[in-house]
Amino acid sequence: MSETKEQKERWSYSRTACFANCKYEYYLKYILKDDEMYLPEGNYYSEVGSFMHDILAKIFDKELTLDNALMYFVENFDDNVLYKTRYSTMEKTFEICTDYFAEVDFDWLDNYEVVGVEKELHFTLGDYDFICYIDLLLKDKRDGKYVIIDHKSVEYPYIKGTKKPKKRCIHNLTTYTNQMYLYAHAVKQNYGDFPKEMTWNHFKDEGKLATIDFEKSIYDEIMDWYIKTIHEAENEKEFLPTYNWFYCNVLCNYRNSCEYQLENRG
């Protein structure tokens, strides 16, 4: 089961991360693509995340004022979030998101020019074509440097008052750093400069902002990781599953059709 030429036309952060996370999911999603046997499904968490992203995009595109965002969220929630999960989780999530829109302010944006919202960028890395969508690309008016913002539903990753990651956040932080540096590479190719910093907007964690500075040595390391991972994907023969209880039971798009998961579930 190796990848054919037609199937390797375009890479992305999510495609590479999918291979690194579970090779069998990668096989179902990017190679087999058999929607009759393995119909991809969404989930509650990803629907809430997409809805929040859509609202934030409307705000930064000036289609929606921040004052009206809370009402928009409440009025349109049921049309945008169809999946269900445990009642207490849904109740808590709704409260967290409404609190976010009630309390957040974007006054700090006055110092920035909005370059793009959900900005689609095409670029290459080595011999590979890539695509990405940057949630919010800004230019600092004070020094003319780019800043990337990515909205995340996961918790703020650092221990309060430090730049030390919480133990349980290390995996996400590594993955999302890979994502940010790929976007930095895209910005460099499309606009001529690397961003000076990249910021995660943790909208479900009181809108805390976590910023990392761009560092060339980390960039080089991560670009090597992408190339190495793509080579591995191209040469992969077995596409074995990686089992993680929460991911396999709640998040994976194939959780109700993957035979490994069905066997584990019993």
Using CB under 6 A, list all residues that contact ligand SF4: 22, 24-25, 241, 243, 247-248, 252, 254-255, 258, 260-261
Looking at beta carbons only, is 3 or 118 nearer to ligand SF4? 3
Here the tokens at position 171 are 């995996």
Shortest CB 40 distance to ligand SF4, Å:
10
Instruction: Give the integer Cα–Cα distance in Å for 230 and 233.
Output: 5
Tell me how far apart the terminal alpha carbons of the chain are, to the nearest angstrom: 27
Shortest CB 264 distance to ligand SF4, Å:
8
Shortest CB 145 distance to ligand SF4, Å:
38
Burial of 117 (0-12, 13-18, 19+ CB in 10 A): buried
Order of strands across the sheet with 128-140?
112-125, 128-140, 146-152, 197-202, 208-213
Looking at beta carbons only, is 201 or 261 nearer to ligand SF4? 261
Shortest CB 38 distance to ligand SF4, Å:
9
- List Cβ neighbours of 131 (8 Å cut-off, separation of 6 or more): 10, 11, 12, 120, 121, 122, 123
Looking at beta carbons only, is 209 or 240 nearer to ligand SF4? 240
Looking at beta carbons only, is 49 or 241 nearer to ligand SF4? 241
Shortest CB 25 distance to ligand SF4, Å:
4
- List Cβ neighbours of 83 (8 Å cut-off, separation of 6 or more): 42, 43, 44, 47
Single out the residue of 228, 120, 219 nearest to residue 178, CA to CA.
219
Shortest CB 29 distance to ligand SF4, Å:
8
Looking at beta carbons only, is 158 or 260 nearer to ligand SF4? 260
Single out the residue of 107, 112, 108, 110 nearest to residue 140, CA to CA.
112
Looking at beta carbons only, is 104 or 251 nearer to ligand SF4? 251
Looking at beta carbons only, is 16 or 261 nearer to ligand SF4? 261
Shortest CB 3 distance to ligand SF4, Å:
17
Instruction: Give the integer Cα–Cα distance in Å for 163 and 166.
Output: 9
What is the chain's percent helix, strand, coil content, to nearest 5? 50, 20, 30
